[in-house]
Amino acid sequence: GLVNTREMFKKAINGGYAIPAFNFNNMEQMQAIIQAAVETKSPVILQVSKGARQYANATLLRYMAQGAVEYAKELGCANPQIVLHLDHGDTFETCKSCIDSGFSSVMIDGSHLPYDENVALTKKVVEYAHQFDVTVEGELGVLAGVEDDVVAEHHTYTRPEEVVDFVTKTGCDSLAISIGTSHGAYKFKPEQCHVDPATGRLVPPPLAFDVLDGVMKELPGFPIVLHGSSSVPQEEVDTINKYGGKLEAAIGIPEDELRKAAKSAVCKINIDSDSRLAMTAAVRKVFAEKPAEFDPRKYLGPARDNMKKLYEHKIVNVLGSDNKL
């Protein structure tokens, strides 16, 4: 069946790699994630946001994820390591409903709350979740942009001096931190970036690795999570724009920075936007090149293949979680 994150994170930290946490909202995304994980022999976290639950229905997504374990076996994986995780749980009730329905892991995102309220809410979720061996991700620090329906103008980096107190008081199993990433395809303004003379591409300012180092010094070996870790592949953006899309100045996290993070105690890296770009690029290409096509399998199939390629690239070339089953 589904597993929680405990052993998975321990192995990832000791092995210097990170587990991919891919969001899914539909069958094609889930299939592509599982195909990629099976072919690369990688553990994987399937994550469901509140928006995904509203879009696709929580029960259907849960059965899909539970079915994913059998699907992985059918694809030839003898011992799949698949987590079903709630992404950005906003209330105790949302977390409880996921725990009660078979999720193996949940995030309670109290990062926008005053510190003591974040502690109290996270502790309450942990106390409930641990009765069912469900692991809990908490968050300290606020990402710029939209997170959990809360819009923040600026990053509020995680304060290393708070993390020991937070983890001790709440008992959470992993901690999401804010070091300069953000959600979506527009993570930096072009004016914050400089042009790489070799490629002509915009290079964003570096993430705050000093903050990560500070957190790791306070909490040696404790599982750290990075949200907002899409790289916004230029090829996908170009394809989208070539076939009628309009994504201007979309900028993500350079893969080198994610590689560096994956080697540290960062053991879960969240990627959603890149999958959306891969899906959109493939669908737009079919629509542009074969305007008479109207069988959804003829465009969602190529979309699935393109997402699978992207997931495999992340696993093998960025996070290093391949051949770990």
- Enumerate the H helices of the chain as residue ranges: 6-15, 27-40, 50-56, 58-74, 92-100, 115-130, 160-170, 209-218, 234-242, 255-262, 273-289, 296-313
130 in a known ligand binding site: no
| Cβ proximity of 92 and 128 under 8 Å | yes
Distance CA 38, CA 192 (A): 39
Annotated active-site residue 274? The verdict is no
Q: Which is nearer to ligand G3H, 49 or 239 (CB)?
A: 49
By CB under 6 A, what part of segment 164-203 binds ligand G3H? 183
Binding-residue pattern over the window 211 to 250 for ligand G3H, x denoting contact by CB under 6 A:
----------------------------------------
Residue 251, both tokens: 């900028």
Catalytic residue among 87, 90, 148, 173: 87
DSSP character at residue 210: H
Q: Is residue 271 a contact residue for ligand 13P (CB under 6 A)?
A: yes
Residue 213, both tokens: 């180092």
28 in a known ligand binding site: no
109 in a known ligand binding site: yes
3-state helix, strand, coil in the chain (%, to 5): 50, 20, 35
Q: Which does 51 bind (CB under 5 to 8 A by kind): ligand G3H, Zn ion, ligand 13P, none?
A: ligand G3H
Residue 271, both tokens: 């990627």
Distance CA 71, CA 65 (A): 9
Distance CA 179, CA 96 (A): 29
Among 4, 5, 23, 239, binds ligand 13P (CB under 6 A): 23
Distance CA 227, CA 270 (A): 5
116 in a known ligand binding site: no
Q: Is residue 49 a contact residue for ligand G3H (CB under 6 A)?
A: yes
Q: Which is nearer to ligand 13P, 48 or 77 (CB)?
A: 48
Q: Which of 48-56, 116-124, 281-289, 315-323 is the region at the interface with ligand G3H (rule: CB under 6 A)?
A: 48-56
Residues in contact with ligand 13P by CB under 6 A are: 23, 87-88, 183-184, 227-230, 270-274
Residues in contact with Zn ion by CB under 5 A are: 227
Residues in contact with ligand G3H by CB under 6 A are: 23, 49, 51-52, 87-88, 183, 272
Which segments are annotated as binding site for Zn(2+)? 88, 109, 139, 183, 227
